[in-house]
Structure 1
């Protein structure tokens, strides 16, 4: 098609893809998996489609099915109307990508195009996909099509491009048998994960999973497959059970084949012992010459060099499908052939037959194109014809000896025609070999008559039989044979999914995830958990990494031991790939605060909340969202939840947040709240009018006597999640009472240890909101200790560092927040500066500290910069005196804790005793007097007495509670 170039059209269109993302689960754009392209329109930003002459006509010539797209008009042809009225080519590429996938047999209709904020000419193009390789290729071809249609590029051969794309789709697609099983599984809400680029698929999740490879299943016996592959042994076993089989023997040589053929009697069949799909099978060989001629053909298809020679049974070829010991379908297989019409040659008849739209290459379509190869030429000659001859009208010319669909044969459904005796024979054959899914090949004159009377026989038993001939017969009704296969793997009523609890938020999500996992472990569950520290399966760390993304979630769901999953879900994973699963039963959102802003187009807290909200949107109707009612951004997520909502709040009765919750409780809602009592704060679970006391906050080890307010909130969120999955109240209580922030249960999160009389807290705090929370904890803990020591003053020393990819303002704010809580601050940096020059992050932190000092709102009196993390911790310990508090907000907690453990050892104390014990005179607590000069051992003794008193008080409170 040629068009005159318009003077207003761009001479060199330059639409291009600048970024590609593949979302493998729910994401910020779509509830389902999707492809996300960021495209740059270039000069085409100035040219909507109505200013591009011939553009719409060219696209419709290439892809006529675009006329069926409804677009925003809600009616077929709506998209074409938009093209004529004028729309931008980014939107056009979205529709082309969807339609190209449609040409490959993927029925997809969901897509959207949105401008990229702040970048002129850049657009987000989002569209659904089934196979990601096909989806990405469709997007790339769509962009090339747009550019070629704009420039009227005669060198762009769309037919060739489309053929290449369709071949890629055919290579990537599941075969018809696998696809039939997956369609049935999807209809039953059984999730699946593709485990390789072929047909190995996991159905179900965790402990409930089953696997299939085409029509072989987790229940298919390897021994049975080997037996079915040995055709001679199969015949022997069937014959010994009295089932009708042809006479046969195995040979390795051509002379041996001739000898056996003479012994059995002509005509015979010669085939490879370990062959399949009818390859190398020679039938109706009537004399020695034909046996010798076919032997090399069979040998070429044999892996072991062993051939089977068996008596030729005359009749039709029937395939009986047996699933779970029961006959499910029978198809008559007719070899590839053409029927003469008295006008066309055999070659022309083949072309006419192959033009049937149902025929494709391989398993691309329900029928396979007939291949005219040397074997077909020889067979035609054997029937007395040449390919360029015109056969008489009504004459059937065979082009293949066997009726396999893969060689161009057709199928006729005979499921309800079979004689009961034949059905019984086929079922018995499958049982004898031991196959759960078996294809029994009968050769007999008529399947409706008993084969023992008509002279028929079983010629083969096949493992992994193809379903195409049954699901898409050429003649007759299709049989829905995937249903019994899925019934075999997942009997009606059996579960296929494991419960999934997804936890997200700016701060507290790791600790909350660990609390939930700890509660479920107490119930005997084998919990699979992802977190920023790694993947944990049944309390074993199987991978040490930041595992809060979708790939880690899939690893958990693929583990066959997992019967409960707790997924920490981070912002980065959602933006990069979406969720790693299709839905979560419970979504927990702890809070949303300023962190990671300025990255991947997320610039405000409200936008960050939209990202975190994806886990809430992934909650089904029978699921729950556990939301922090004290955070407005989190509370508003309730509008996007299809299931029920459980709120948690730390605000007192009568506050606006509690009033909001009380209104929901009156309508039967659920919540976890704090109730003041004369013994302290009580965590209470409320459901409508019911009120269930859970635990006093000061008795939970993770709260350090109630001082760690953020862990109170985390415990409430964990209790809400456990309540959502019907954990009994006493098990929730027991889980929270036994969860501690020790390094073994919660590595890197509020780990406290004593180093020569100095209380050291190791935590991952790295943003202003987290620093406020942990600063409040340090203040509360210091006040508790000062009160226990008659108001003696305890110095608070902080080791802080900021992540390099945060905004300058965030790092400055982090320093300013820390300045209000610590007497001395040691500023460090992460090993990975994340794009910043070494030392720049530390300078911004110091800037924030100094600004707070200048404003007269700082507690800090000493600021040191030591960039290396371990060196910074060592320096803080030099500054500390016995009795002081040190917060080490670190990135690599394992090595820091190892260093602190070494400091506690006698060898370390001998080499650096003076450094550690002396401390900084400027920070000596004046009120301690002689205690400040006492030995570290005496100071530890004082704290040991304090700890014992505190433990006794807790025990008394516990007894009172019981």
Structure 2
């Protein structure tokens, strides 16, 4: 029923709009190309009451947030959202717009949002909206829900004005300051990515080897020695004075008596300030006598971290801040202390309130000006001028409420960039060079910056490291100066790169092996590769984190590493749904396949929905990027419509098939593809580009394919070749990379590792779902056919150890067992250490049930199904049953522990010898160490996935 058809409530409504779930997407996601907040809200009884049925709802909302008038909503015109409110819209949609507007109140210009119903759950809605700071974004959503409930039925304990003030203060604490934000906006305009490194203003610009860091206006190129010099006002003055620059007379003291004595020697009036202070705190100006010096000394010492206080001669004049970047003057602002101008009608207190009502003034740094705060220091300053707060100053009389012209205390700024005399500019630039700062704020006191200070009198009173930009970017009077540009120029000169190439790999099966192949190829051409995978984070072939690292947090860790100049990201479904991609875009997206796995989790119930999730990396491909897609998978083929860049197909389909016809048409139009060409000598991988065909390699000569029998690794090799070719890698380098990549434990741990244990062929793999078992079973058939002749008595038995994760559906587990029953003579079913919500024995029981049901149907190869829950015990049981010449396939959870066990078995028979095909005797396979390491792997994986750790036995 449409909103306009809903009945008007006859009595009071009990509002129960609530947030059921909240997520923060830090990159591209299934809802948006940009970072977003995702709230799942439950309207409760309000599902029956859209906005037009609640008396006065829209008017009260506009009274509190009048800027909602500017929201266009789906109408696309100003006022469109208000039209929707009056026509009737559900309150989840209202919460979305309120959350956006609250962030705009905090100075975050955000307009992206959408609200969609949760499928199959009436009254629940997905509310998605953009954010600039995730803490502020989440707080905005929470306050929006509370406000909507209060507008429906006012609550006694809810004061929106107070809540808004608290929200704005929180935003001011956690959001970027105006200086940092100015630099970030300039970086974003140049397509330079950034990563926030803490909750304050510590930010990385660029990625990997190209990264530079800033903290406010301090940069990676700022000298620590220069910062120390600028922080020591006495040393700075002596350094500048020795170079002939104008500085006031001064000395440093630690006692009140010392301050009085120095003031007498210098001559009143004087200035007293902390040696290592900032923002004008603890500064006493124009002190005319000993008593004033004593009072100012106490304030200055309280603000000094080291207890040292500077006493210097008071220079009469105006306060100017000169901003020097890279040794060149970029902006000059005249700073005027917080003040009010009398009108002969209002008291000083009333004038402050009128001044603070200026929409440009806000709390802290949330707006271009800060509200004037009337504290004890301000009252004292008013009294020094002969007034009280209730005094009515004459028209035109300026009443100062602060000594210094800092913006953070309510002061204003006047742009004087183009008024400065060249001599003064030269003095400021020389001061910055002497101190050694790349970004410096030079504080001048002079009668007029337009006249030479050496002639008119004036001096440099301070040199500041990390100077604020707000007075220059948002002057109260005058033109704003775009001073972030020269700062970014210092870090990234024109033409300098800021990004590393990113290859993202996803798919139901094969993504880990494909990622490793791509990393191996690029390592061969001299790249320092950072790779994430389900096994951990690898930086330049060194495993630095051992955990399931296929999520967005791991991706950011790679991009923060200063050695990385090429990134390969294995992207899992869970990470996309949980936090998005973790970066803004990938140069190449590789999708291996999409099959029914992980269904029934996080709202993904169909394989088509799963394909939509995996297509996020395809949507993250820019116009100059490439998507490498499996043409044999219809769900992957459809993703081509979501790609802004080019498509490179890969396919193992035979010539003449419908898939090959699609590829032929693609190549006739100049496209690229990786195909398999059958010949009398075997299958050849061929790269096609337009009308050209280039032979790459025979499949049976690639070690990872085990003689061409592992067709899934043939497809993985083709996908890796497609990604490398798309990035401009030469044919020889791609060929060499594939020819030297094997499934040995050290290049591809846990993926098709072939080990010989007393003439028993043992394959260790990670297969854990029905689609994977289907292709693994096909490999077993091919491989066993080649090995049958060497079996004892001419007969080769196949023994499989299988399992799956407990978060799969019951039917998926049964299907896994049924498929395995078609390919193995004996099945041993184990369980993972992490049961993921299942009872012990439940998962293995369902798999065994599926295998036995397939055996009962007839035609299955399997003759016996056994359950051994512990993985190590299951490995021992399987190996005890195997005879020389048999084929054993171990589908493992902790590959390190399993390989350790196999190593121990070999060493028991032939101590001190090396009989396996895969590095037997290596100290990395110590059984005791690896069993503990395997346990740690499970804990680390649980943490990365946001899941609980397994309970201790």
Alignment of 1:222-301 (within 5 A): 222-301=224-303
3-state SS of paired residue (2:794): coil
Instruction: Find the partner of 1:901 among 891, 900, 903.
Output: 903
1:406 aligns with 2:419: no
In 2, the alpha carbon distance for the partners of 1:585 and 1:387 equals 62
After the TM superposition, which of the residue ranges 7-16 and 632-641 deviates more from structure 2? 7-16
In 1, the alpha carbon distance for the partners of 2:323 and 2:213 equals 20
8 Å CA contact 2:169–2:364 kept in 1: the answer is no
Counterpart of 1:173 in structure 2 is 175
Counterpart of 1:312 in structure 2 is 314
The alpha carbon displacement at 1:746 in A equals: 0.6
Q: Deviations over 1:71-117 (max 9, x none)?
A: 22232222222223322222222222222222222222221111212
8 Å CA contact 1:682–1:696 kept in 2: the answer is yes
Instruction: Find the partner of 1:627 among 610, 626, 629.
Output: 629
Instruction: Find the partner of 2:359 among 347, 353, 357.
Output: 357
The alpha carbon displacement at 1:155 in A equals: 5.0
Counterpart of 2:510 in structure 1 is 508
The alpha carbon displacement at 1:51 in A equals: 2.6
Instruction: Find the partner of 2:803 among 795, 801, 804.
Output: 801
Counterpart of 1:659 in structure 2 is 661
3-state SS of paired residue (2:568): strand
The alpha carbon displacement at 1:303 in A equals: 1.1
In 2, the alpha carbon distance for the partners of 1:389 and 1:322 equals 42
Sort the Cα spacing of 1:476 and 1:836 in 2 relative to 1 into closer, same or farther, 3 A: same
In 2, the alpha carbon distance for the partners of 1:6 and 1:769 equals 53
Instruction: Find the partner of 1:566 among 565, 568, 580.
Output: 568
In 2, the alpha carbon distance for the partners of 1:302 and 1:100 equals 38
Instruction: Find the partner of 1:104 among 103, 106, 109.
Output: 106
Matched positions, count: 910
Structure 1 gap ranges (5+): 911-935, 941-962
In 2, the alpha carbon distance for the partners of 1:398 and 1:60 equals 37
The alpha carbon displacement at 1:347 in A equals: 2.4
Counterpart of 1:691 in structure 2 is 693
3-state SS of paired residue (1:886): strand
3-state SS of paired residue (2:387): coil
Sort the Cα spacing of 1:476 and 1:859 in 2 relative to 1 into closer, same or farther, 3 A: same
In 2, the alpha carbon distance for the partners of 1:399 and 1:50 equals 49
Counterpart of 2:640 in structure 1 is 638
The alpha carbon displacement at 1:141 in A equals: 1.6
Counterpart of 1:812 in structure 2 is 814
The alpha carbon displacement at 1:118 in A equals: 1.8
Q: Deviations over 1:832-856 (max 9, x none)?
A: 2222222122222122212222222
Sort the Cα spacing of 1:50 and 1:384 in 2 relative to 1 into closer, same or farther, 3 A: closer
Alignment of 1:751-766 (within 5 A): 751-766=753-768
Q: Deviations over 1:497-539 (max 9, x none)?
A: 1111000000000000000111111111111111111111111
8 Å CA contact 2:168–2:366 kept in 1: the answer is no
Counterpart of 1:605 in structure 2 is 607
Counterpart of 1:88 in structure 2 is 90
8 Å CA contact 2:792–2:884 kept in 1: the answer is no
Structure 2 gap ranges (5+): 1-6, 918-953
Counterpart of 1:919 in structure 2 is none
Counterpart of 1:518 in structure 2 is 520
Larger radius of gyration: 1
Counterpart of 1:591 in structure 2 is 593
Counterpart of 1:915 in structure 2 is none
8 Å CA contact 2:412–2:475 kept in 1: the answer is yes
In 1, the alpha carbon distance for the partners of 2:257 and 2:342 equals 39
After the TM superposition, which of the residue ranges 342-351 and 242-251 deviates more from structure 2? 342-351
Q: Deviations over 1:598-621 (max 9, x none)?
A: 111111111110110000001000
Alignment of 1:334-345 (within 5 A): 334-345=336-347
Instruction: Find the partner of 1:71 among 65, 73, 76.
Output: 73
8 Å CA contact 1:775–1:821 kept in 2: the answer is yes
Sort the Cα spacing of 1:405 and 1:78 in 2 relative to 1 into closer, same or farther, 3 A: closer
In 2, the alpha carbon distance for the partners of 1:758 and 1:790 equals 10
The alpha carbon displacement at 1:186 in A equals: 0.7
Alignment of 1:204-219 (within 5 A): 204-219=206-221
Sort the Cα spacing of 1:360 and 1:746 in 2 relative to 1 into closer, same or farther, 3 A: same
In 1, the alpha carbon distance for the partners of 2:687 and 2:509 equals 23
Sort the Cα spacing of 1:130 and 1:359 in 2 relative to 1 into closer, same or farther, 3 A: same
After the TM superposition, which of the residue ranges 95-104 and 207-216 deviates more from structure 2? 95-104
In 2, the alpha carbon distance for the partners of 1:290 and 1:865 equals 88
8 Å CA contact 1:666–1:688 kept in 2: the answer is yes
In 2, the alpha carbon distance for the partners of 1:62 and 1:225 equals 46
The alpha carbon displacement at 1:6 in A equals: 6.5
Sort the Cα spacing of 1:832 and 1:381 in 2 relative to 1 into closer, same or farther, 3 A: closer
In 2, the alpha carbon distance for the partners of 1:810 and 1:716 equals 29
Q: Deviations over 1:232-251 (max 9, x none)?
A: 11111111111111111111
What TM-score do the two structures reach when normalised by structure 1? Answer: 0.92
What TM-score do the two structures reach when normalised by structure 2? Answer: 0.93
Instruction: Find the partner of 2:451 among 432, 449, 452.
Output: 449
Sort the Cα spacing of 1:399 and 1:74 in 2 relative to 1 into closer, same or farther, 3 A: closer
3-state SS of paired residue (2:583): coil
Instruction: Find the partner of 2:619 among 617, 620, 630.
Output: 617
